[in-house]
Structure 1
Amino acid sequence: MISCTPFSSTFAQDKTIKPVHIEVDLTREKGPLKPIWAWFGYDEPNYTYMKDGKKLLTEIAKLSKVPVYVRVHSLLVTGDGEAALKWGSTNAYTEDAQGNPIYNWTIVDKIVDTFIERGMKPIAQIGFMPEALSTKPQPYRHHWKPGDNYNDIFVGWAYPPKDYNKWAELVYQWVRHSVEKCGQKEVESWYWELWNEPNIPYWKGTTEEYIKLYDYTADAVKRALPTARIGGPEVTGPGDKNSQKFFRAFMDHVVNGKNYVTGKTGTPIDFITYHAKGAPKLVDGHVQMNMGTQLRDIDKGFEIVASYPTLKNLPIIIGESDPEGCAACSEDYSPQNAYRNGTMYSSYTAASFARKYDLAQARGVNLAGAVTWAFEFEDQAWFRGFRDLATNGVDKPVLNVFRMFGKMPETRVEVKSGLAYDYVRVRDKSVRDEVDINALASKGTKSVAVMVWHYHDDNLPGSDAPVEVKVTGLPGKTVKLTHYRIDQKHSNSYEVWKQMGSPQSPTAAQITQLEKAGQLQSLGAPSRVKVTKGETVLKFDLPRQGVSLLQLRWE
């Protein structure tokens, strides 16, 4: 067996963390590595076609080998299309003086076209309520900003319709228009979903009124395009008993309820959606994440779906899957969110996504996607601390984790257990004791990729970890190794920006430098690594909150 240490000169120097041994066996397949990470979303739909929004969408589309799905709010909200925090509008539906519908798809089309031009697909969120249809239309437009009461956003758009038939016709017209504009085959590849988090004040109606709205919506979608995919209910926090009550009421109705439109039993559903969030807080002046909270919500949702025999094999989309719940709540007003600019967000993302695969497999459910609810905020201060993927057109470290995922081949392979944490321990206890150093691995016909992370819930300085990765089942006598890295010195625009003095008006040259620093970088040049009897061993030091991707290729 040949050992190779192409990037490490300090492997034996750090005595505070014991060497971590990770074994990857290419002969033990664990099924497809579904691109559950290739799903993104955000509150403000009008950012989609703005300068930095289009730039970021282009980069997101390029990092994935498969079409990326994008979910946005407010596609039916009344307004002039002005973008603002936690707000968006399209003016898709208004009425004349006699109450007759006026449909205007200009802004909706502009949003969808921006996706499709990049090979992306919409998760077309049917919501929220147009002003002319709302049972309580005033006040309608909010002007929320960080530091304000979050409940201030729930105004006229959050209420049920005063006429369910008019609502259904609006949905029918939207789907029919989409087919006429984009073609049946294209629209069949979309997901249509109803509303967002109806178990909290995003929906100002009752549970039964949401169920009624779903029946009218599903019927309208299927009338316009019988092969369209419709789903829900996008509840948040399935670990909460009230959320479970809402979720199960919806699922019970889908299976056994009397349909409000047809009078028959049940209602169409093609996929199931819900949200799961973590819960960071400040502890002794530093951020402490809580990955366990998020994983427990994910697992409870899986458990609920699995309890319905006729529904358990449907695709599940975790419609928002994040370290906490408010992307637009900036660090300056919410200091527990100070993890977002640096590498803690990156390592959390790597470690949590790996466990989503494990949880789905353990519950025997069909996880199709997990939406990262993060995008960009146009014309805001540099690195203000929003939960975003880029700032002023410069990519943040977290986006490079998704670039790593995009480089992983399609078949998952076994990473030997026996490490400090498995998905059960992280779900039940989070990462509060020793650090979580683990890996996710996959193979293709001529390549293998191993993503390794060094994560802890506490955002505190810590020692580098000496890591040894043994890969078995390799062909030939050599493979080409490229080692990608996210840490303080690599793939990290935030650290470069701080080294510049944290400028809020960087020069053109500085912006170019930041853009370069925001890309995924390798740790040294690619090298040839010897393989003996199908094995190679790679040794390197991995900083706390760092992520490595080891990519091995052969001819």
Structure 2
Amino acid sequence: MVDMRFKFQVNPAKSIGIVPKIMGDLGFDEVRAILDPLGQCTFKLLRDANNHAAMRGNADISYPVGEGVAPFKEHPRSAFRYVRCHNMFTGDGGDRQGEKNAGLVDVSWNGSILQCNFERLDAVYSTFLDAGCIPFVELGFMPPELAMYAKEAHEHYQPGARDELVDFDFPNDIEDHPPAIAASPPRSHEMWGLLVRKTVTHLQERFGKDAITSWLFELWNEPDGLAFWGSEPQEYYELYERTAGIIKDIDPRLRIGGPAVAWSTQYLEGFLEHVTAQNVPVDFISCHVKGGMPGQFNHPRMDYMLDTMKKYITTIEKFDRFTTHPVPFLLDEADPFLSCVNGTRQDPVYRFRETTYYPCFVAEYYMRLLEYLETEAPEWFFLHGVYSDNLHMIDERYPFGGYRNTVTTMPVSRNLRTHEEVTCPSILSDGPMDIPPHSSHWNKYAHLVNRASLFKVYPSHPAWNEPFILVKKPIFHVYSLFQRLGPEKIEVRTTVVDDGGEKTNSEDRETGINVLATICKETKEIIVMAIYTREDSIDGDMGDLKELELSLPGKFSLDGETWRFTKALKHSLTPETCNAYSRWLNDWSQLDEIDEESMKEMLRYNKLPTTVVTPNLEGVNLDNQAEGARLPIRVQDALNLHSIITWTFRF
């Protein structure tokens, strides 16, 4: 039922400011999974999205930063930008989630030589770069050979060992427990520094000294949580100081930051006090926000995420160093709800991760962030990235299971194992590998991953033994829509028409459509994004329609050039175009595998439909400059709840 109509008048002559590319960064735990066919196929989808990404202009956009801070650029050519992952140094036992979260660097110490095998690390970062993404280097967690609370670290002499300086009773405090080891401080700061130096210099040699200056380096993840850091805050602050000093000694151009806190403003304040007092380099400040968790709220809360961010900003404002010489602020985990390991079988609320509710929530959150940056943010504040911790490949252990991933894994008939769209890692787990010729990446990295260990936690995972395909969830597509936006925001005048008449420039987040109009002068395009969503309605109502009319001049002058309308394209992320979850639920959820016809149906959802729009040009003479502006082109449409539509008007 249509209860309200919206009119949006776009004014390309009035610029509002830049449209920062802050959405498009991803993160996850299971780094070794990238070396598996599952991970290689996932990053192939990311690579394809980046290779076909819309161009936001031909030049990288640089943003101002404080004196002495390396410039940050937008990198406008990728739908997916930075990739941040945990467990670089974690031992084979993994972290709090077991062996599936084992790390990338094999570390050994014999009392005189620190040896590091970087083969897995090189393969993973090469996969990032091959996909057009930039590595975000999270230095952590602690390898057993260096961990204060691991027996391996006490088998040999370590220079600078601090056994007598910490609250530690050897051997009674030794824990043969991988999560405790991963969260342990180092037995020797000197040994940790040597590990950092060897790792960074190796990255320079392998990928290029100049190339890695565009990467970001961060110490640890959420040290304010016991799951990740098993020591005092001061211990983390001092470890950061030593780590930052080593990285800057290797190359002052490299960028190091932190503290990647989960929630504690007190921890953030202590960190900023320490780095200020000791004049420690900080190239960016990183923090995390979540929209709550089941039991706390019955749906994700945008205001909760924004309020948490504002508390961080208030804390940073206490320090003149960061307001007079600002550094970028990163939300390097920003997710609607906590828990990557829980899905719909643990709590039905997580079904929102399979529907268009999720991308609409993210898009609306982006709109709210832009509004905050325009109207409330302090002058010194610069938001560089909003990362979604949304690539948990092994945790996605059932098709459309509600886990935190951009794609889902669906088993198909073994008769399809040589199909070009199918990946077949192994027909029998204890037998010879049956690998189609097109699985070249799997052949390349097969020796670097123990698949039995990787899938040990979830042995029924569809990608373990069976042929499978990857199906994009709706959340995957929203990043391509963000990429379509132009780098400059332009004015939109809004009129709401209901039973009470017309209301100009009305805003109503509970019942209205949110519109963002942008322009790309280099490509001569105007791109408009419209979102209709309500965060308190996870399931939505397919009968809840909003009508809209979009108008803009068909011909106008801008910066001395004439713009004349030629074509309009529409991309739709709606419950009708992205309903793979409901199709699976209704037709195939009771099947162990799907056949070829069903597989083709599911793969259809890996592309958003693009349609050519025919605007209403009645009475518009595009050969007449004045008349083209006075009688604009018009597009009429209707949005269901939890829908995003972008229109690209080419001139």
> Normalising to structure 1: TM-score of the pair?
0.84
Tell me which residue corresponds to 2:510.
434
The one of 349, 352, 357 equivalent to 2:365 is 352
Describe the shift of the 1:184–1:154 C-alpha distance in structure 2 as closer, same or farther (beyond 3 A): same
Alignment equivalent of 2:258, drawn from 199, 212, 232: 232
Structure-2 change in CA distance of 1:473 and 1:311 (3 Å): farther
Aligned residue type for 1:368: H
Deviation, 1:473, is: 8.2
Partner of 1:411: 488
Q: Tell me, yes or no, if structure 1 residue 215 matches structure 2 residue 236.
A: no
Counterpart CA distance in 1 for 2:261 and 2:144 is: 23
- CA–CA distance in structure 2, aligned partners of residues 275 and 419 of structure 1: 36
Q: Which amino acid aligns with 1:60?
A: L
Q: Is 2:376 aligned against 1:368?
A: no
Q: 470, 476, 498: which is aligned to 2:551?
A: 470
Q: Could you tell me whether the CA contact under 8 Å between 2:570 and 2:646 is conserved in 1?
A: yes
Q: Is the 8 A contact 1:172 1:223 kept in 2?
A: no
Tell me by how many angstroms 1:229 deviates. 0.5
How many residues align? The count is: 501
**Distance between the aligned counterparts of 1:192 and 1:87, measured in 2?**
20
CA distance 1:536–1:327, change in 2 (3 Å):
farther
Aligned counterparts of 1:212 and 1:474: Cα–Cα separation in 2: 61
Unpaired runs of 5+ residues, structure 2, are: 54-75, 154-176, 410-469, 498-507, 557-562, 621-627
Which of 443, 448, 454 is the aligned partner of 2:519?
443
Structure 2 residue 64 is matched with structure 1 residue 66? no
Deviation digits for residues 497-549 of structure 1 (CA, Å, limit 9, x no counterpart): 23433244122332232122122113x44435536316333221101111111
1:536 correspondence with 2:633: yes
Q: Which residue number corresponds to residue 299 of structure 1?
A: 310
Aligned counterpart, 2:31: 45
The CA distance in 2 between the partners of 1:419 and 1:173, in whole Å, is: 61
**Alignment partner of 1:28 out of 14, 25, 36:** 14
Q: 1:272/1:282 Cα in 2 relative to 1: closer, same or farther (>3 Å)?
A: closer
Closer, same or farther: CA 249–360 of 1 in aligned 2, 3 Å? farther
Task: Give the equivalent residue in structure 1 for 2:60.
Answer: none
8 A contact 1:81–1:89 mirrored in 2: yes
What residue in structure 1 maps to residue 576 of structure 2?
489
Task: Give the Cα–Cα distance (whole angstroms) in 1 for the partners of residues 368 and 178 of structure 2.
Answer: 33
Alpha-carbon contact 1:33-1:409 (below 8 Å) kept: yes
The equivalent position to 2:478 in structure 1, one of 401, 404, 426, is: 401
Greater mean deviation of Cα atoms: 64-73 or 84-93: 84-93
Within the candidate set 191, 197, 209, 1:172 is matched to 197
**Counterpart-to-counterpart distance in 2, 1:549 and 1:437:** 13
1:248 aligns with 2:326: no
Greater alpha carbon shift after TM alignment, 66-75 vs 491-500: 491-500
1:424: which partner in 2?
A: none
User: Given that residues 493 and 518 in structure 1 are in contact (C-alpha distance below 8 angstroms), is that contact kept between their aligned partners in structure 2?
Assistant: no
1:448 deviation in Å? 1.3
Does residue 515 in structure 1 map to residue 599 in structure 2?
no
Pick which of 544-553 and 80-89 moved more.
80-89
Match of 1:387 in 2: 404
Deviation at residue 483 of structure 1 after TM alignment: 1.4
Matched, 1:453 2:504: no
Residues in 1 aligned to 2:614 and 2:260: alpha-carbon distance in whole angstroms: 46
CA RMSD of aligned residues (A): 2.8
Q: Which moved more, 1:535-544 or 1:401-410?
A: 535-544
Name the residue aligned to 1:88. Answer: 102
Note the alpha carbon deviations across 1:108-132, whole angstroms, 9 max, x for none.
1111111112221111000001111
- Secondary structure at the counterpart of residue 332 of structure 1: coil
Contact 1:125 1:195 in 2 (8 A): yes
1:276 aligns with 2:354: no
Could you tell me how far apart the structure 2 residues matched to 1:161 and 1:115 are? 29
| Distance in 2, Cα, partners of 1:355 & 1:406 | 18
Taking a change above 3 Å as real, the CA distance of residues 33 and 473 of structure 1, as seen in their structure-2 partners, is farther
Are the counterparts in 1 of residues 108 and 116 from structure 2 also a CA contact under 8 Å?
yes
Q: Which residue, out of 280, 293, 299, partners 1:288? A: 299
What letter is aligned with 2:274?
Answer: H
CA distance in 2, matches of 1:66, 1:107: 27
**Is this contact kept in 1: 2:29–2:392, CA < 8 A?**
no
Report if aligned partners of 2:533, 2:643 keep a CA contact under 8 Å in 1.
yes
Take 1:332 and 1:325, find their aligned partners in 2: how far apart are those partners?
15
Contact 1:25 1:414 (C-alpha < 8 Å) held by counterparts: yes
Contact 1:129–1:160 at 8 Å: present in 2 too? Answer: yes
1:465-517 CA-to-partner distances (Å, cap 9, x unmatched) read: 11223335863553411111112221342233234332441223322321221
Q: Distance in 2 between matches of 1:135 and 1:520?
A: 51
Percent of aligned positions with the same letter in both sequences? 23
Deviations 1:291-320 (A, max 9, x none): 111121222223333443432431111110
Classify the secondary structure of the residue corresponding to 1:371. strand
In structure 1, C-alpha distance between the alignment counterparts of 2:495 and 2:237, rounded to whole Å: 46
AA in 1 matched with 2:609: Q
Shift of 1:387: 1.4
Distance 1:510 1:198, change over 3 A: same
Question: Which amino acid letter does the alignment assign opposite residue 234 of structure 2?
Answer: E
Q: Name the structure 2 match of 1:3.
A: none
Q: Is the 8 A contact 1:299 1:359 kept in 2?
A: no
Deviations 1:451-477 (A, max 9, x none): 111111222433111122333586355
Change (3 A) 1:214 1:447: same
Structure 2 distance, partners of 1:436, 1:94, is: 59
CA distance in 2, matches of 1:46, 1:419: 51
Report if aligned partners of 1:278, 1:289 keep a CA contact under 8 Å in 2: yes
Q: Secondary structure, in 3 states, of the residue corresponding to 2:334?
A: strand
Amino acid at match of 1:247: L
* Larger-gyration structure (1/2): 2
Q: CA deviation at 1:342?
A: 0.7
Q: Deviations over 1:258-309 (max 9, x none)?
A: 3xxxxxxx101111111111025479xx952211111212222233334434
Cα separation, partners in 2 of 1:478 and 1:119, compared to 1, 3 Å: closer
Q: Which amino acid aligns with 2:211?
A: E
DSSP 3-state at the match of 2:145: helix
Moved more, 77-86 or 292-301: 77-86
TM-score (norm 2): 0.72
Query: What letter corresponds to residue 512 of structure 1 in structure 2?
Result: K
The Cα shift of 1:367 comes to: 1.0
Q: Please report how far the alpha carbon of residue 343 of structure 1 lies from its aligned counterpart in structure 2 after TM superposition.
A: 0.9
| Pair 511,353 (structure 1): closer, same or farther in 2 beyond 3 Å | same
When residues 76 and 465 of structure 1 are mapped into structure 2, their CA distance, relative to the original with a 3 A threshold, is: same
* Deviation larger for 81-90 or 441-450: 81-90
Contact in 2 for aligned 1:24/1:469 (Cα 8 Å): yes
Kindly state the Cα deviation for residue 399 of structure 1 after the two structures are TM-superposed. 0.9
Instruction: Give the C-alpha shift of residue 336 in structure 1.
Output: 2.6
The whole-number CA distance in structure 2 between the counterparts of 1:249 and 1:77 is 26
